[in-house]
């Protein structure tokens, strides 16, 4: 890809870096260079498609700048420029929504390839956003059909996720009934649980379908899915408090989860409950990278993770119901 309608910003406090980036990019893109973050932020009204930014600058940290850009224009892709491979800042940047990074001194091909990949991804995201916008308009008229359509959209990318979402949402309702959650809340929770991994629409297929362990870089990408899902669904009115399930289903009781690293009761109740169900279903399903646990083994594992991954009092509350489900054969039928 490359056309002069695509706008690329370069932000670096070194003039020489600005100029060499301009030379590399100017044949394919419309390039604007900035020496100060404040100027680049003011320039956001020009609607850039992509921003290269230095990770360390005098007046504002590159990470702070990234945060501001993502708040003002969430769909702009950002690539960090680092002087040396500073792993912790780079991971932090990826976690905060940067697409990639390049290391100084960089070569022409490295810059162009990074730009191309970022712009491809931006196109995908914009396309999904358009599709979702169309679907969203139908939401309040017919949310059941819309939910199915969104689930199918995820299914097309990652077939495991669609089935997993169906099972976990049904289990959440069954369990919710037994622990006294109201019918109206359960309707919302059911819809949100069906869509809890919708953010995977925004993750590259090569990562979603990868067999074998993920690199830290790939894992950081996966970790963006709750936030992407939340951003997709936030404008809908039919999910309301169910959105907590989408955004916080990977938080952990011991604060080692993501995206926000919340601790204990800071994690909203439906997300704490759903995290147990989500993990249970993942454990009892065969995946390409590991074999499944039996029902009993999964329950044992959940009890073992009490106080670490899961809210201990919630585990105590739901385990007897899991055991009852197992006895009834309900879990096999899901
Ligand atoms: Fe997830």
Mean pLDDT of 138-166: 77
224 closest CA partner among 98, 48, 309, 122 = 98
Number of CB atoms found within 10 A of residue 102's CB: 18
What is the Å distance from ligand 1's center to 153 Cα?
Answer: 16
Q: Decide if pLDDT at 311 tops 80.
A: yes
pLDDT class of 81 with cuts at 50, 70, 90: very high
Which of 264 and 126 is assigned the larger pLDDT?
Answer: 264
Least confident interval from 132-136, 148-152, 273-277: 132-136
CA diameter of the chain? 71
Around ion ligand 1, residues with a beta carbon closer than 5 Å are: 197
228 closest CA partner among 253, 259, 191, 192 = 259
What is the Å distance from ligand 1's center to 24 Cα?
Answer: 39
pTM: 0.62
Least confident interval from 25-29, 66-70, 210-214, 288-292: 288-292
What is the Å distance from ligand 1's center to 171 Cα?
Answer: 16
What is the Å distance from ligand 1's center to 105 Cα?
Answer: 37
Least confident interval from 132-141, 162-171, 214-223: 132-141
Percent of the chain with pLDDT over 90: 59
At residue 11, the 3 state secondary structure works out as strand
Q: Decide if pLDDT at 312 tops 70.
A: yes
pLDDT at 297: 92
What is the Å distance from ligand 1's center to 195 Cα?
Answer: 10
**Which residues share a beta bridge with 31?**
8
How many residues would you count in the chain?
334
φ/ψ of residue 98, rounded to 5: -65, 150
Sheet arrangement for strand 50-54? 30-34, 7-11, 50-54, 77-82, 100-103
Which tokens sit at 274? 């759903």
**Separation of alpha carbons 54 and 101, rounded Å:** 10
100 closest CA partner among 122, 115, 86 = 115
Mean pLDDT of 93-111: 92
What is the Å distance from ligand 1's center to 158 Cα?
Answer: 12
pLDDT at 139: 63
Which tokens sit at 163? 């089935």
Number of CB atoms found within 10 A of residue 173's CB: 17
pLDDT at 76: 94
**Separation of alpha carbons 332 and 124, rounded Å:** 37
What is the Å distance from ligand 1's center to 148 Cα?
Answer: 18
Segment 121-139, tens digit of pLDDT: 999 888 888 887 777 666 6
181 closest CA partner among 273, 53, 80, 289 = 273
Q: Decide if pLDDT at 242 tops 70.
A: yes
CB 319 within 8 A of CB 328: no
Average pLDDT for the chain? 89
Q: Decide if pLDDT at 2 tops 70.
A: no
pLDDT at 189: 94
**Separation of alpha carbons 245 and 192, rounded Å:** 6
What is the Å distance from ligand 1's center to 197 Cα?
Answer: 5
pLDDT at 288: 60
Secondary structure element (H or E) that encloses residue 100, with its range: strand 100-103
pLDDT class of 241 with cuts at 50, 70, 90: confident
Segment 276-298, tens digit of pLDDT: 999 999 999 876 666 789 888 99
What is the Å distance from ligand 1's center to 34 Cα?
Answer: 38
Which tokens sit at 115? 């730009």
Output b/e per residue, 282-303; b: 16+ Cβ within 10 A: bbbbeeeeeeebebeebbeebe
Sign of the alpha-carbon torsion through 275, 279, 281, 286: positive
CB 135 within 8 A of CB 150: yes
Which of 171 and 211 is assigned the larger pLDDT?
Answer: 171
What is the Å distance from ligand 1's center to 219 Cα?
Answer: 12
What is the Å distance from ligand 1's center to 245 Cα?
Answer: 10
Q: Decide if pLDDT at 1 tops 60.
A: no
Which of 82 and 140 is assigned the larger pLDDT?
Answer: 82
Angle of CA points 95, 131, 66, to nearest 5°: 25
Q: Decide if pLDDT at 65 tops 60.
A: yes
Mean pLDDT of 14-28: 95
pLDDT at 331: 78
């Amino acid at each position: 890809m490359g056309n002069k309608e695509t706008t690329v910003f370069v932000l670096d406090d070194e003039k020489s870096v600005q100029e060499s980036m301009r030379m590399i990019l100017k044949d394919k893109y419309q390039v604007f260079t900035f020496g100060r973050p404040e100027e680049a932020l003011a320039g956001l009204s020009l609607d850039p498609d992509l921003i290269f930014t230095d990770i360390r600058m005098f007046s504002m940290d590159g990470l702070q700048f990234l945060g501001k850009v993502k708040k003002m224009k969430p769909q702009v892709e950002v690539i960090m420029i680092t002087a040396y491979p500073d792993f912790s800042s780079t991971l932090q940047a990826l976690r905060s929504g940067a697409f990639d990074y390049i290391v100084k001194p960089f070569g022409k091909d490295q810059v162009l390839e990074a730009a191309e990949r970022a712009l491809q991804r931006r196109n995908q995201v914009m396309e999904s956003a358009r599709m979702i916008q169309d679907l969203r308009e139908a939401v309040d008229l017919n949310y059941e059909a819309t939910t199915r359509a969104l689930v199918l959209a995820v299914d097309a990318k990652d077939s495991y996720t669609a089935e997993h979402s169906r099972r976990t949402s049904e289990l959440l309702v069954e369990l919710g009934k037994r622990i006294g959650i109201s019918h109206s809340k359960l309707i919302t929770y059911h819809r949100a649980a069906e869509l809890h991994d919708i953010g995977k629409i925004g993750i590259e297929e090569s990562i979603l379908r990868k067999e074998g362990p993920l690199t830290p870089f790939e894992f950081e990408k996966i970790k963006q899915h709750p936030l992407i899902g939340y951003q997709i669904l936030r404008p809908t009115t039919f999910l309301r408090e169910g959105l907590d399930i989408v955004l916080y289903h990977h938080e952990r009781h011991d604060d080692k989860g993501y995206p926000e690293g919340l601790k204990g009761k800071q994690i909203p109740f439906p997300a704490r409950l759903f995290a147990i169900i989500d993990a249970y279903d993942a454990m009892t399903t065969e995946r390409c990278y590991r074999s499944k646990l039996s029902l009993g083994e999964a329950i044992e594992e959940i009890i073992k993770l009490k106080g670490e991954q899961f809210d201990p009092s919630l585990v105590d509350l739901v385990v007897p119901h899991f055991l009852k489900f197992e006895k009834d054969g309900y879990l096999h039928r899901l």
